[in-house]
Chain A
């Protein structure tokens, strides 16, 4: 009975109700879109890092720090048998050392990254290095990423002088040839990185059997002299960054929900002001004030319930379209965010339901707050239109 009256009143309001529903529905879609975009962003960044660098974790020396290049040379270790005996699909041996290249005779400090050519764990387009048959006595084959190629103005086939230190500290240099420029989906292994064959890097630096880390598919137990770095630690900075961004995104959600809330609040406020005589009549006919409050609250809440349905409809269209085109975030690659391709939404049903529930609850609350005062209204005053001023 009360629902029917509320629905009739709600529909009678026409454009006002429609706008309330639309604003609330759009707020809902925007919140879900925002949440899903962050999920997609995080998912893609993690996937790219894992497939190209992190894998299932790294075995390193306890003091190795990729952000301390001065110490890389002191943090190498001989690969233990427990790791060297793993199949090529389960491990990737990596040696990282400091070096310099001189494109157009300008100094360019680089990270020399030697990659095991037999490994099948990481997805890296380095097959041109594998094809290099001749020894590295005169020319060293190298591969660079597209971003690095742009910065250093190097192209496929270009020659460049490469300088490094051997394990004793003696300086050495040779000509290197860019055998390929590859698109790398993870800018962290592109900017400032020169890819080499592990055997080549070991030979020129006299570091036989040495590695900086061994990427593995999964934890293989404790190994003396090494420390296992789980993916969560290796991905910590990017996960922290996204977590921090999510916090800032809450501000946007609050603004959106606030706007939708204000719209409903305003409608409710106007309703009880303009419909004082109706309130007075209902009370005069014996409707208890609590029931009148419930009636008006339900009327306001109908905007939220209808918004859920409209949001489902609009969301399907908007999010569906977005999934077909994605969002180009290639500009972020400049800031070392490990995504170069378009990103897509990752919709988590639990998150969607929860955020909808939060919005609906807030809407019910803002529909109830302005109508509370009805319970204190004197019916005679209300009939005269002087109860609420």
Chain B
């Protein structure tokens, strides 16, 4: 029978504690770095220096479905210009975003309106998106700190589930949860939470396709989880990256008939 050695036991325990004390932050930091790298890759996939989109916004409020057809030009994350082509009621409506300001021009009134401050929080044309949601001008890797919660299979794809915490108190959604395909660096699902932890919005990114050297979804489905039977689908019928956009598109002079 082995003789109980108190000295050996104390030494062993101390070594064990020491190793873990040294290793734990490294493991944590590695996980954090991995999460951050993944977010950067996701951003790289989604964001480009310039972008052109020919798309549709399908707004389903549970009683009727409206389809808005528009073209958008974007430069970086701070400038964008959209021109609404259909339906007839919205035809000619223009939206110009520059930094944190958004101007809207409607041909019926022949006036441009500055949508700023608290107005940005209102629903955009009756959709599940606010103007603020539409003009999201920060990369998630810059606005949030991510942690990996684990793996989850989603529609046959092994995804990493990540919780993102806002770096600033002023961020609309303080907590996001995303499902990322680590093999392709794409987000399949995003949930936005209130500070209390209540689920507010759900976004599904579907039908990813190759556009140049990127993977971009063809469809984004937004749901306001506090409302019943409503959803807004953003269809990207045509998308081009790194296109030349005339400077006049981001000038206020474009906001006229």
Chain A residues engaging chain B, CB cutoff 8 angstroms: 70-71, 73-74, 98, 100, 102, 104-107, 161, 163, 165-166, 168-174
Contacts and interface: CB of A to CB of B under 8 A. Distances in A.
Nearest to A174: B196
B198 interface: yes
B26 interface: no
Given A161-B226, A171-B200, A71 B170 contact: no
B194 interface: yes
Interface string B147-180: 0000000000000000000100111111000000
A173 B196 contact: yes
Interface stretch (B75-83, B115-123, B237-245): B115-123
Contacts of A173: 194, 196, 198, 200, 226
Nearest to B194: A173
A170 B196 contact: no
A171 B119 contact: no
B248 interface: no
Given A71-B117, A161-B198, 11 more contacts: A98-B118, A102-B227, A104-B228, A105-B227, A106-B227, A107-B227, A170-B166, A170-B170, A170-B173, A171-B174, A174-B196
B253 to A, nearest CB: 27
A171 B226 contact: no
> 9 closest pairs, A vs B, by CB?
A105-B228, A173-B194, A70-B118, A168-B169, A172-B195, A173-B198, A102-B226, A172-B194, A168-B170
Interface of B: 117-119, 121, 166, 169-174, 194-196, 198, 200, 224, 226-228
Contacts of B224: 107
Nearest to B116: A70
Contacts of B173: 170-171
A106 B117 CA distance: 25
Contacts of A174: 194, 196, 198
Contacts of A73: 118
Given A70-B118, A98-B118, A165-B121, A172 B226 contact: no
A172 B170 CA distance: 12
B171 A105 contact: no
Contacts of B198: 161, 173-174
Contact of A166 (B118, B166, B195): B195
Contacts of A104: 228
Contacts of B166: 170
Contacts of A102: 226-227
A163 B117 CA distance: 18
A169 B170 contact: yes
